[in-house]
Chains A and B, each alone.
Chain A
């Protein structure tokens, strides 16, 4: 069996790549994809940590995360659509109405 720490390291790398993508990219679609990367990393930790205890509970928690991710994507993409209608752009820097 692969040690649990290996899974945690892969998960940390995935999460770090998600952070890098979320902060560096200005395309809001790619920013959402980076959030999905981070949520996947969290799921991996749930399942890996539960393997040596009660595996079914880890899977159940990961299922909840998947459901939250699905609703987040649905609302987020609707927001992107509304933004595109307003600005003709999905660049997150295009929205500066609240900037003083």
Chain B
């Protein structure tokens, strides 16, 4: 039986290798396929956290729907071979931003004893099963749930309007 720590290490390595390749591959199709690897790695991390429902949704929505959308658009655009992207100033600035983000997160972690104590709970905690998530989603978070459904509708209408080819007699 795979221990949780081993599973964590495997899935996080998959996710991080995928993420590095997403931002380094020059062709967008390659980047999109590596992004699937990252999504699957994060889904595995959700499973090790006991959030099985979220892992399944991650695979279905991200690795399924969103990636298909990306690949459709890449195919639709039929891009040529990408040019070399030399952009040294932005690269330096972004590395600085990334290191600063890491420091912002790592420094409190290093000096927070209560966080480290909370990291090893004595009693096994409840898992986020589909029933429990639904309980929270339809009672405590009922209003955000409705707002999100409205947001999806608006996004759908907006996407259709933006991607529609304008008729000849109207301006964009």
Contact = CB atoms under 8 A, between A and B. Distances in A.
B119 A3 contact: yes
B35 A23 contact: no
Given A4-B115, A60-B141, A71-B154, A79 B90 contact: no
Contacts of B167: none
Interface in A16-59: 16-27, 29-30, 32-34, 36-37, 40, 43-44, 47-48, 50-52, 54-59
Contacts of A79: 162
Contact of A59 (B19, B48, B51, B156): B51
Contacts of A33: 22, 31-32, 35, 70
Question: Top 9 closest A-B pairs, CB basis?
Answer: A71-B155, A21-B23, A23-B94, A16-B98, A3-B119, A78-B162, A55-B128, A56-B132, A78-B163
Interface of B: 4-5, 8, 12, 15-16, 19-20, 22-23, 28, 31-32, 35, 38-39, 42, 45-46, 48-51, 53-54, 57-58, 61-62, 65-66, 69-70, 73-74, 76-77, 79, 82, 85, 87, 90-91, 93-95, 97-99, 101-102, 105-106, 109, 115-116, 118-121, 125-129, 132-133, 135-137, 140-141, 144-145, 148, 151-152, 154-156, 158-163, 165, 172
Interface residues of A, number: 72
B79 to A, nearest CB: 7
A34 to B, nearest CB: 6
A16 B98 CA distance: 4
B150 to A, nearest CB: 10
A18 to B, nearest CB: 7
A67 interface: yes
A74 B77 contact: no
Contacts, number: 247
Contacts of A74: 69, 155-156, 158-159
Contacts of A5: 109, 115-116, 119
A18 B115 CA distance: 25
Nearest to B34: A33
Contacts of A11: 105
Contact of B8 (A6, A50, A64, A80): A6
A23 B54 CA distance: 29
Nearest to A18: B19
Interface centre among B42, B145, B151, B152 (most CB of A within 10 A): B42
A36 B101 contact: no
B31 A30 contact: yes
A67 B22 contact: no
Contact of A10 (B16, B65, B90, B140): B16
